[in-house]
């Protein structure tokens, strides 16, 4: 659901920020480095995910000398009704979640209502960092596509943790057996959902990559975390002694990975940093397109520092694709003129422009 009203209090350097963004179209957020424009995107991301994309220590998000931060939003449903949601975090760690003026039980409830996708300078981690980042990329889509994914994945993580305790403490194999049996059942379910999701996602990524980068025959190479030539049950039992020696479960969905290949060659071996950013954009946009087809909810795109590592032509192609999604888009740049130049050839662009200075937001268009 897109945002029609946003109020932020004592988040980072935003003491009291309010804005009424364009519900469907482009919202340009300009301002100098350190002015608070990225913090504004971070607040939206936090409201939709309960997590910061810049900080793993939540209390650091609270403005100096404040005791809490709050983020409130009015969302527009498909029937044009307004849905209020909000999140508040206190210095002592207490978190309050509200949906339609009622207490919410988990951040997952907010995420279902306000799905957000981020493109920023750290997005290249999908390629350059470990497989955890690529699994997170997949699992974002699985969360929305399969209602049963989140409970299955949480149960898998719980069982995996318990199994690893038995292995690490070298406890008898009869104690390992029930955890192994449950792990197998859950692992097969997670793997099946990932395979189905990839089969739907792959042709969309290939089409967008061809448009953005002229990459031919792009495919997703999926490693499910064990040797697919072997039955998972048989594999775990075959290597149980090795796992006891290492003290951890060596095979399963928690070891899964994906790679992007063209004509059988991994793209990370021949793409520049700017080209990698374009491909990551294609991957994220593909998830948005699939999301809209299957879930029929509005996705919110957050693009921090669009001009970074992209030339003007690449910016134009990316913005053209973004605008075709008919979604709500927030883009930051030091100068709004940079974005104006990139959208100059696009027709009927609906947009609003905001300027952030010293933590204060004002509309300037």
What does the pLDDT look like over 204-250, one tens digit per residue?
Answer: 999 998 888 888 888 999 999 998 778 899 999 999 999 999 999 99
Task: Compute the distance between CA of residue 107 and CA of residue 89 in angstroms, rounded to an integer.
Answer: 12
200: tokens are 């739907």
What does the pLDDT look like over 266-287, one tens digit per residue?
Answer: 887 778 877 888 888 899 999 9
Nearest 5°: CA angle at 208, between 206 and 213? 95
- Of 261, 236, 238, the residue nearest 249 (C-alpha): 236
pLDDT tier, 297 (very low <50, low <70, confident <90, very high otherwise):
low
Poorest-pLDDT segment among 181-190, 204-213, 255-264, 294-303 = 294-303
- Say yes or no to pLDDT of 57 above 70: yes
pLDDT tier, 65 (very low <50, low <70, confident <90, very high otherwise):
confident
Greater confidence (223 vs 128) lies with 223
Q: Are 115 and 48 in contact (CB under 8 A)?
A: yes
Q: Is 25 left (phi over 0), alpha (psi -120 to 50) or beta?
A: left
- DSSP-H helix ranges across the chain: 37-49, 107-113, 125-128, 131-145, 149-168, 173-213, 232-238, 240-246, 273-294, 312-324, 336-342
pLDDT tier, 296 (very low <50, low <70, confident <90, very high otherwise):
low
Domain architecture of the chain: domains with CATH:
1-115+297-365 (3.40.50.300), 129-294 (1.20.1050.90)
What does the pLDDT look like over 2-25, one tens digit per residue?
Answer: 899 999 999 988 988 999 999 888
The pTM score is 0.89
Distance of alpha carbon 48 from the chain centroid: 10
Q: Any residues with CB less than 8 A from the CB of 232 and at least 6 apart, and which?
A: 184, 187, 188, 226, 251, 252
39: tokens are 């913090």
pLDDT tier, 79 (very low <50, low <70, confident <90, very high otherwise):
low
- Say yes or no to pLDDT of 84 above 70: yes
- Say yes or no to pLDDT of 253 above 90: yes
Mean of per-residue pLDDT scores for the chain:
89
pLDDT at 148: 94
> What is the dihedral sign for C-alpha 74, 54, 362, 297?
negative
Task: Compute the distance between CA of residue 204 and CA of residue 290 in angstroms, rounded to an integer.
Answer: 8
3-state secondary structure of 56: coil
What does the pLDDT look like over 138-155, one tens digit per residue?
Answer: 999 999 999 999 999 999
Q: According to the per-residue pLDDT averaged within each range, which of 48-57, 158-167, 286-295 is highest?
A: 158-167
pLDDT tier, 303 (very low <50, low <70, confident <90, very high otherwise):
very high
Task: Compute the distance between CA of residue 41 and CA of residue 140 in angstroms, rounded to an integer.
Answer: 18
- Of 142, 149, 86, the residue nearest 113 (C-alpha): 86
- Say yes or no to pLDDT of 345 above 90: no
């Amino acid at each position: 659901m897109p945002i029609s009203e946003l109020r932020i209090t004592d988040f980072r350097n935003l003491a009291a920020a309010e804005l009424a963004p364009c519900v469907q179209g482009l919202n340009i957020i300009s301002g100098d480095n350190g002015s608070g424009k990225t913090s504004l995107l971070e607040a939206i991301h936090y409201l939709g995910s309960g997590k910061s994309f810049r900080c793993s220590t939540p209390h650091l998000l609270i403005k100096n000398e404040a005791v809490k931060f709050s983020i409130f939003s009015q969302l527009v449903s498909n029937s044009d009704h307004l849905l209020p949601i909000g999140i508040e975090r206190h210095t002592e760690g207490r978190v309050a979640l509200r949906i339609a003026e009622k207490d919410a039980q988990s951040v997952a409830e907010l995420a279902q209502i306000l799905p957000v996708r981020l493109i920023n300078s750290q997005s290249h981690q999908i390629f350059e960092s470990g497989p955890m980042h690529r699994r997170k990329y997949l699992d974002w889509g699985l969360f929305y596509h399969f209602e049963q994914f989140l409970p299955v994945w949480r149960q898998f993580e719980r069982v995996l943790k318990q199994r690893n305790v038995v292995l690490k403490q070298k406890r008898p194999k009869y104690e390992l057996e029930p955890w192994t049996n449950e792990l197998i059942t859950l692992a097969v379910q997670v793997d099946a959902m990932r395979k189905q999701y990839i089969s739907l996602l792959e042709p969309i990524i290939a089409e967008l990559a061809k448009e953005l980068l002229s990459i031919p025959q792009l495919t997703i190479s999926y490693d499910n975390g064990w040797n697919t030539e072997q039955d998972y049950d048989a594999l775990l039992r075959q290597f149980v002694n090795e796992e006891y020696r290492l003290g951890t479960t060596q095979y399963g969905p928690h070891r899964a990975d994906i790679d992007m290949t063209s004509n059988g060659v991994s793209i990370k071996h021949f793409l520049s940093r700017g080209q990698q950013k374009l491909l990551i954009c294609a991957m994220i946009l593909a998830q948005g397109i699939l999301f809209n087809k299957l879930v029929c909810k509005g996705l919110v795109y957050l693009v921090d520092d669009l001009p970074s590592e992209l030339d003007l032509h690449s910016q134009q192609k990316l913005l053209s694709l973004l605008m075709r999604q008919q979604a709500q888009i927030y883009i930051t740049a030091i100068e709004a003129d940079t974005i104006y130049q990139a959208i100059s050839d696009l027709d009927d662009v609906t947009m609003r422009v905001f300027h952030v200075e010293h933590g204060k937001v004002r509309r300037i268009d």
